[in-house]
Amino acid sequence: MILVKLVVGDLVLNVISAYAPQVGHNESTKREFWEGLEELVRRVPIGEKLFIGGDLNGHVGTSNTGFERVHGGFGYDIRNQEGEDVLSFALAYDMRGKRAKVARTKWWKLKGEASQAFRERVIKEGPWEEGGDANMMWTSIATCLRKVAVEEFGVTKGSRREAKDTWWWNDEVQKVIREKKDCFRCLYLDRSAANMEKYKVAKKAAKRAVSEARGRAYEDIYQRLNTKEGERDIYKMAKFRERKMRDVNEVKCIKDLEDQLLVKEEAIKRRWQEYFDNLYNGEVESSTIELDDSFDDTSMCFVQRIQESEVKEALRRMKGGKAMGPDGPDP
pLDDT in tens, 265-324: 788 888 888 888 888 887 555 545 555 555 555 555 666 678 888 888 888 887 776 655
d(CA 247, CA 116): 61
159 within domain boundaries:
no
d(CA 78, CA 56): 16
What's the half-sphere exposure (Cβ side, CA atoms, 13 Å) at 29? 9
pLDDT in tens, 53-89: 888 878 777 776 667 677 766 666 677 888 788 877 7
pTM: 0.37
39 and 79 co-located in one domain: yes
13 and 78 co-located in one domain: yes
| Domain boundaries, position 252 | 247-280
Contact assessment for residue 33 and residue 70, using Cβ atoms and an 8 Å cutoff: no
Cα dist from 85 to 25, 33, 99, 111, 175, whole Å? 14, 11, 19, 50, 50
205 and 182 co-located in one domain: yes
Which one of 40, 65, 92 terminates a domain? Answer: 92
Query: What is the pLDDT averaged over residues 238-249?
Result: 63
Cα dist from 202 to 178, 188, 212, whole Å? 10, 15, 15
Q: Please enumerate in sequence order all residues whose Cβ is within 8 A of that of 47, keeping only pairs 6 or more positions apart, or say none.
A: 12
33 and 83 co-located in one domain: yes
270 within domain boundaries:
yes
63 and 80 co-located in one domain: yes
pLDDT in tens, 193-234: 888 899 899 999 989 988 888 888 888 877 877 777 777 777
112 and 83 co-located in one domain: no
86 and 47 co-located in one domain: yes
87 and 10 co-located in one domain: yes
The full length of the chain comes to 331
Average pLDDT, the chain: 76
d(CA 328, CA 331): 10
List, in sequence order, the alpha helices (H) in the chain.
27-42, 81-92, 112-125, 134-153, 171-189, 193-225, 228-245, 265-277, 308-317
Cα dist from 129 to 75, 141, 243, whole Å? 45, 11, 67
257 and 276 co-located in one domain: yes
Helix (H, G, I), strand (E, B), or coil: what is residue 211? helix
191 and 237 co-located in one domain: yes
237 and 255 co-located in one domain: no
pLDDT in tens, 94-114: 766 554 455 678 888 888 888
Number of domains within the chain: 4
Angle at 254 between CA 285 and CA 239, to 5 degrees: 135
